[in-house]
A and B are shown apart, each in its own frame.
Chain A
Amino acid sequence: MTAEIAEPASRVELPAGVGGGGEIPTFDVHMRVRRYNPEVSGEATWDDFHLTMYGTDRVLDALHKVKWEMDGTLSFRRSCAHGVCGSDAMRINGRNRLACKTLLKDLDTSKPITVEPIKGLPVEKDLIVDMEPFFQSYREVMPFLINKGHEPTRERLQSAEDRERFDDTTKCILCAACTSSCPVFWTDGQYFGPAAIVNAHRFIFDSRDDAGDMRLEILNDKEGVWRCRTTFNCTEACPRGIQVTQAIAEVKQAILARKV
């Protein structure tokens, strides 16, 4: 639905100071980064770096500054650098976030900023973890549209309301911030984890999909949704703002409703 918009004015009076202004302030930060390289030592250690950064810089910029100017061996994944690819989920000051979406100025720079790999997945080197167990859980929920009907010649119809029903869970970028913030996932290596449930939700509530029952059966497993203890860590961790705990609750309700 595209609303018609009135033609905007050819010229407007701009308010003073529009777009911000002045010099970007600089400040000093103390980064404490968890280091681990099994080629060198079996022990993980902390390394400290003192940097001067700008007000618009992100944690990723600080890590790059370390890698590019001080210690080239520091290893971490990153790609898009603006919160859409999901490469750089890390534990920053004890909370899971994307390094490229966390501005240094929003952290308490009077204290050291700690950066660690996300928890619950095997550490490979420094901030890099083995993502395979995470993607294994994802694959198990059949994260793809299954439609048993005839293939239409044109698109399948779907009302805007039906489309809206699963909008929130389509936003997932598979960064693992949620799953690796979950205390159940830390202690129980078998739990599917929030991200897999989010991706199941995305199809269970899609009116075009016919395999909801199969997915609900998978998630009704002892390592499925019932492990969730609603600690809300996942919802707080999600860099896309997905209401993860609510999505898990909706899957739980769907399983119960199906049994009635």
Chain B
Amino acid sequence: MQVHKYDVVIVGAGGAGMRAAIESGQRARTAVLTKLYPTRSHTGAAQGGMCAALANVEEDNWEWHTFDTVKGGDYLVDQDAAEVMAKEAIDAVLDLEKMGLPFNRTPEGRIDQRRFGGHTRDHGKAPVRRACYAADRTGHMILQTLYQNCVKHNVEFYNEYYVLDLLTVEEDAVRADGTPYKQKRVAGVVSYDLASGELHVFQAKSVVFASGGAGKVFKTTSNAHTLTGDGMGIAFRRGIPLEDMEFFQFHPTGLAGLGILLSEAARGEGAILRNSEGERFMERYAPTIKDLAPRDIVARSMANEVREGRGCGPNKDYVLLDLTHLEPAHIDAKLPDITEFARTYLGVEPYTEPVPVFPTAHYAMGGIPTNITTEVLQDNDTVIPGLYAAGEVACVSVHGSNRLGTNSLLDINVFGKRAGIAAAEYAKTAQFVELPENPLGYTTDLLDIARNGTGDEKVAQIRKELQDTMDANMQVFRTADTLNQVLRDIASFEERYKHINVQDKGKRFNLDLLEAVELGFLLELAKVMTVAALHREESRGGHFREDFPERDDEKFMKHSMAYKDDHAPADGSAESIAGIRLATKPVVFTRYEPMVRKY
């Protein structure tokens, strides 16, 4: 057994992981384990910008940004966390500039800023220019800049090391009120080296999860093939709850049929949506800020236009993003990449033709619960010492039930930095936790079951059927019937998953095996998302129940917490659905009372 020892191990090398590594690496002996080469991470696909109230081009302040974030999330945001993010946003942007990020500039040479959905002046009066950007490749520049700075600081990477297990031990402990409980402590992680097929144990005082999202549970998605929710799945299997998993963001403007993202920056720069009648339909749904309403509202409006027969194309199944009234030079300067995507993949010339678009699964608002110092919670009141999470894998919660555009690039920078500092500071005084007996046991079994299966089920076929049912039944519109259909489908997929056949039996770069393991995570997470969605009998942010179309603050102004519990009875009651126990967690309020959400 190969055992490595580090003060801090970071799982994932996207924006959050590398931002954490830059801090941690300067304070403690740090390793970054990543399934991909760091520059392949999906942070690089983010386009439009990163909001911060720099007020470089017009009046703005962090309090307005906090309000927009809270309202954008339909009041399910923890307001203390949103306040931290909006305040620290300013330094987060300036940090990146000092690290070398080539932002677009104003005529005075300052960082330029532009409009983005849901970001407003003075509590919703009008759109405000808050998004700092580098053309429509802001995420690319962030990922490259953070990688450059990791090179500068000699951060130690283990590339193509796929983390498959979190090693924890449980100790008897007693709460302040005298009740006994089991305190989880983190000992390290188990990782599979893709090149050699060998397992490695990384013993660490602190572990930071920064492994990104789970968009591949859906068919139409802006997410990379590799975004299979591994970090969330690992935590869940080890008894850590997942928070608010029913909230998944559908980005309004995916290229129709493909899901490839066209940034909201297009609408920030003046593009608008039209239906088959040529109508700018967002005027009806959000009279004040129209096409710059938050994503959940725009995505639902688009889907509604299609449902009511005003979709475009031979199957009337998409709407149009119209940039034709913008100057080609302006498009080239501000939106070069996304217009090239339209040309390459759809053969549409955005200068002169509107671009077919439809909502695409984009971002998990939920994830591993943490507090504002990024410490992971094992339940509502108890942190797991030495375990941290940041970025899309985590739920702080700054996004509530719907994330505002640009706030993800902000989240990874603010909370990635916090996680790196916190993990390293903790490791300075902490002792290593002794590894559990047979630390490789769980992972060895997991891989053997996948590799040695003799059935005839194909991983890709089950995955496709999972994605099909999620798109059909768990997307923008949901009802109890559609959600129960998903659960029935998943139950049959789980059964078939036991009979998969992995063709590649080798050790070297066995990506066939990797995809089988990833599908296990996807099935688990899709089920958690759907169970939580079924239980939430209201409509809020990205979660819209046609059978419960109103927000219900009295019953549901609280986070959902899903625990893996093999003993949870499958009696069909909302709190207990085969292997998952649902609980709630209070929302943190500081200064904003819930109001009706209108734009």
By a beta-carbon cutoff of 8 Å, the part of chain A in contact with chain B is 1-3, 5-6, 8-14, 18-23, 37-40, 56, 67-69, 71-73, 75-87, 101, 103, 124-126, 128, 131, 135, 138-139, 142-145, 147, 151-152, 154-160, 163, 166-167, 170-174, 203, 206, 208-209
Known: A19-B256, A157-B109, A163-B102. A84 touches B44 (CB 8 A): yes
Contact call A71/B313, Cβ cutoff below 8 A: no
16 A-B pairs with CB atoms under 8 Å apart are A2-B129, A5-B325, A8-B325, A10-B283, A19-B353, A72-B459, A72-B504, A72-B512, A73-B506, A73-B512, A75-B511, A75-B512, A80-B40, A81-B225, A155-B103, A173-B39
Known: A1-B112, A85-B224, A124-B195. A72 touches B40 (CB 8 A): no
Known: A37-B508, A151-B98, A170-B144. A11 touches B314 (CB 8 A): no
**With an 8 A cutoff between CB atoms, is B276 at the interface?**
yes
Sample of 5 more A-B contacts, CB < 8 Å, known A68-B460, A82-B341, A142-B152 = A19-B256, A19-B318, A20-B348, A40-B506, A126-B509
Contact call B278/A13, Cβ cutoff below 8 A: yes
Q: What's the least CB distance linking B192 to chain A, in Å? A: 15
A69 vs B260: C-alpha distance when bound (angstroms): 24
**With an 8 A cutoff between CB atoms, is B105 at the interface?**
yes
Known: A79-B224, A158-B105. A8 touches B280 (CB 8 A): yes
- The residues of B that contact A71 with a CB separation of less than 8 Å are 503
Contact call B280/A10, Cβ cutoff below 8 A: yes
B108's contact among A85, A86, A157, by CB below 8 Å, is which? A157
Question: Sorted from nearest, which 4 A-B pairs have the closest CB atoms?
Answer: A145-B100, A72-B503, A68-B460, A157-B109
- The residues of A that contact B107 with a CB separation of less than 8 Å are 1, 160
**With an 8 A cutoff between CB atoms, is B137 at the interface?**
yes
Contact call B314/A83, Cβ cutoff below 8 A: no
Q: What's the least CB distance linking B599 to chain A, in Å? A: 17
Contact call A85/B42, Cβ cutoff below 8 A: yes
Contact call B102/A166, Cβ cutoff below 8 A: yes
- B112-136 contacts to A, CB under 8 A, are 112, 114-115, 129, 134
A156's contact among B98, B224, B278, by CB below 8 Å, is which? B98
Binary flags per residue of B471-514, CB closer than 8 Å to A gives 1, else 0: 00000000000000000000000000000001110111111100
Contact call B509/A128, Cβ cutoff below 8 A: yes
**With an 8 A cutoff between CB atoms, is B572 at the interface?**
no
Contact call B40/A87, Cβ cutoff below 8 A: yes
- The residues of A that contact B507 with a CB separation of less than 8 Å are 39
Contact call B140/A84, Cβ cutoff below 8 A: yes
Most interface-central of B37, B134, B277, B346 (chain A CB within 10 A): B37
B224's contact among A2, A39, A80, by CB below 8 Å, is which? A80
The residue on A at minimum CB distance from B90 is A154
A139 vs B150: C-alpha distance when bound (angstroms): 11
Contact call B148/A143, Cβ cutoff below 8 A: yes
- The residues of B that contact A160 with a CB separation of less than 8 Å are 104-107, 109
Contact call B144/A73, Cβ cutoff below 8 A: no
- The residues of B that contact A173 with a CB separation of less than 8 Å are 39, 44, 140
Contact call A82/B45, Cβ cutoff below 8 A: yes
**With an 8 A cutoff between CB atoms, is B97 at the interface?**
yes
A75 vs B515: C-alpha distance when bound (angstroms): 11
**B-side interface size class:** 35 or more
A101 vs B458: C-alpha distance when bound (angstroms): 27
Q: What's the least CB distance linking A161 to chain B, in Å? A: 9
Q: What's the least CB distance linking B342 to chain A, in Å? A: 11
- The residues of B that contact A2 with a CB separation of less than 8 Å are 57, 112, 114-115, 129, 269
Contact call A79/B137, Cβ cutoff below 8 A: no
- The residues of A that contact B140 with a CB separation of less than 8 Å are 84, 171, 173
- The residues of B that contact A79 with a CB separation of less than 8 Å are 36, 40, 42, 224-226
Contact call B353/A18, Cβ cutoff below 8 A: yes
Q: What's the least CB distance linking A127 to chain B, in Å? A: 10
Q: What's the least CB distance linking A109 to chain B, in Å? A: 17
Known: A19-B320, A19-B354. A144 touches B152 (CB 8 A): yes
The residue on A at minimum CB distance from B461 is A68
Known: A20-B356, A75-B511, A143-B148. A12 touches B278 (CB 8 A): yes
A19's contact among B103, B141, B356, by CB below 8 Å, is which? B356
- The residues of A that contact B570 with a CB separation of less than 8 Å are none
Known: A39-B506, A84-B44, A139-B151. A56 touches B512 (CB 8 A): no
A185 vs B276: C-alpha distance when bound (angstroms): 53
- DSSP majority for the A interface? loop
- The residues of B that contact A203 with a CB separation of less than 8 Å are 100
**With an 8 A cutoff between CB atoms, is B149 at the interface?**
yes
B312's contact among A18, A84, A170, by CB below 8 Å, is which? A18
The residue on B at minimum CB distance from A143 is B148
A157 vs B107: C-alpha distance when bound (angstroms): 10
- The residues of B that contact A13 with a CB separation of less than 8 Å are 278
**With an 8 A cutoff between CB atoms, is B393 at the interface?**
no
Binary flags per residue of B528-568, CB closer than 8 Å to A gives 1, else 0: 00000000000000000000000000000000000000000
Q: What's the least CB distance linking A168 to chain B, in Å? A: 11
Binary flags per residue of B264-275, CB closer than 8 Å to A gives 1, else 0: 000001101010
A56 vs B97: C-alpha distance when bound (angstroms): 39
Known: A39-B506, A139-B151. A69 touches B320 (CB 8 A): no
**With an 8 A cutoff between CB atoms, is B279 at the interface?**
yes
The residue on A at minimum CB distance from B258 is A56
The residue on B at minimum CB distance from A14 is B278
- The residues of B that contact A209 with a CB separation of less than 8 Å are 100
**With an 8 A cutoff between CB atoms, is B111 at the interface?**
yes
A19 vs B347: C-alpha distance when bound (angstroms): 9
The residue on B at minimum CB distance from A58 is B345
**With an 8 A cutoff between CB atoms, is B430 at the interface?**
no
Known: A14-B278, A144-B151. A83 touches B102 (CB 8 A): no
B325's contact among A6, A37, A69, A152, by CB below 8 Å, is which? A6
- The residues of B that contact A22 with a CB separation of less than 8 Å are 314
**With an 8 A cutoff between CB atoms, is B326 at the interface?**
yes
Known: A2-B57, A86-B39, A155-B111. A73 touches B504 (CB 8 A): yes
A170 vs B166: C-alpha distance when bound (angstroms): 37
Contact call B344/A56, Cβ cutoff below 8 A: no
- The residues of A that contact B230 with a CB separation of less than 8 Å are none
A145 vs B153: C-alpha distance when bound (angstroms): 12
Contact call B100/A68, Cβ cutoff below 8 A: no
- B210-235 contacts to A, CB under 8 A, are 224-226
- The residues of A that contact B93 with a CB separation of less than 8 Å are 155
Q: What's the least CB distance linking B5 to chain A, in Å? A: 24
The residue on A at minimum CB distance from B42 is A80
Known: A11-B279, A20-B356, A72-B503. A39 touches B508 (CB 8 A): yes
A103 vs B283: C-alpha distance when bound (angstroms): 37
Contact call A11/B278, Cβ cutoff below 8 A: yes
Contact call B280/A82, Cβ cutoff below 8 A: no
Known: A20-B313, A79-B226. A56 touches B257 (CB 8 A): yes
Known: A1-B107, A5-B270, A72-B504. A14 touches B276 (CB 8 A): yes
A7 vs B337: C-alpha distance when bound (angstroms): 24
**With an 8 A cutoff between CB atoms, is B110 at the interface?**
yes
Contact call B97/A156, Cβ cutoff below 8 A: yes
A9's contact among B280, B356, B510, by CB below 8 Å, is which? B280
- The residues of A that contact B320 with a CB separation of less than 8 Å are 14, 18-19
- The residues of B that contact A38 with a CB separation of less than 8 Å are 508
The residue on B at minimum CB distance from A73 is B504
Binary flags per residue of B351-364, CB closer than 8 Å to A gives 1, else 0: 00111100000000
Q: What's the least CB distance linking A147 to chain B, in Å? A: 8
A13 vs B324: C-alpha distance when bound (angstroms): 13
Most interface-central of B224, B461, B509 (chain A CB within 10 A): B509
A9 vs B324: C-alpha distance when bound (angstroms): 11
The residue on B at minimum CB distance from A15 is B353
